Amino acid sequence: MSESPPTAPVCYRHPGRETYVRCTRCDRPICPDCMREASVGHQCPECVNEGRRSVRPARTAFGGGTAGRHGYVTKALIAVNVLFMLLSIASDRGGDAAVGGAGFGGLMGGDTPLTDWGSVLGRAMFPDGTIGGIADGQWYRLVTAMFLHYGVIHLLLNMWALWVLGRSLEASLGRVRFAALYLIAGFGGNVAAYLFSDPRATTAGASTAIFGLFAALLIVERKMGRDISQIIPVLVINLVFTLTVRGISIPGHFGGLVVGALMALVLAYAPRGRRTLVQVAGGAVILLVLLALALFRSAYLLG
């Protein structure tokens, strides 16, 4: 009695295809369409997918994702600031900013209807007789002010600084942590401007957040053991400009610097075991303190 010839193994995903190649992980036969190259031999699609799920994603030294090296948040923030500048120019419609010699849309630093609407303003009576400002419920000003600028030159200076500082910090911290740092520093600078400026004075610009990024870069680079000698002179020059040039919000710049430093300390020195929890809690505490200070200032102005 003759023996039947042995049958060739077939691909477990394509039963009609004979194959003598097996997955190096699960040992199931796989055809050429199912082969995925591995460090040794080939693997099937299911084992490859399982391996991807089990691999822990790479993190920065401060817990952020490595996608921050692409600078997506920095680019998005620049785009938002540019968009607000375009809207600010459009809102002017050739009005007071152009007639006053500041250039259409406040190209050289004039006010526009949009900056009047969104800048930090404590409390003031407007030309139509209405009273407005943060003390009168316009809390959005503490956020919108960090995206508005008095002219294109003002915008370009801040966006250049954001491009230089932002990409480095975003790569170190990751996208979410960098975005939180920028927004909290900008918010903190606006709260400081609200606390210590004349309630009828308006102030706007990304400088509050930019100064926070300066402080954060010093702290983050120092934590990573890098040389910070080139950063300090640039920061000192900016502080000198803040103190000597008229029209610059001293409280806004120093407030952003201090709040940015506090947030950076939370991000850089959170204990590794509970890093994310401490970072979120620390950011929340900073925000709550800032809101409490703003509420106290509003109560004083209304009192």
Q: Express the helix, strand and coil content of the chain in percent, nearest 5 each.
A: 60, 5, 35
Instruction: Judge contact between 195 and 251, C-beta under 8 A.
Output: yes
DSSP secondary structure letter of residue 250: H
Instruction: Judge contact between 44 and 21, C-beta under 8 A.
Output: no
User: What is the Cα–Cα distance from 174 to 60, expressed in whole angstroms?
Assistant: 7
At 240, the amino acid letter reads V
The pairing of beta strand 202-203 with beta strand 120-121? antiparallel
70 is catalytic: no
Catalytic residue among 207, 229, 249, 298, which? Answer: 207
Catalytic residue among 42, 149, 154, 253, which? Answer: 253
Closest CA to 165 of 251, 85, 241, 256: 256
253 is catalytic: yes
Angle at 255 between CA 131 and CA 69, to 5 degrees: 115
User: What is the Cα–Cα distance from 261 to 214, expressed in whole angstroms?
Assistant: 8
Q: List, by residue number, the catalytic residues.
A: 207, 253
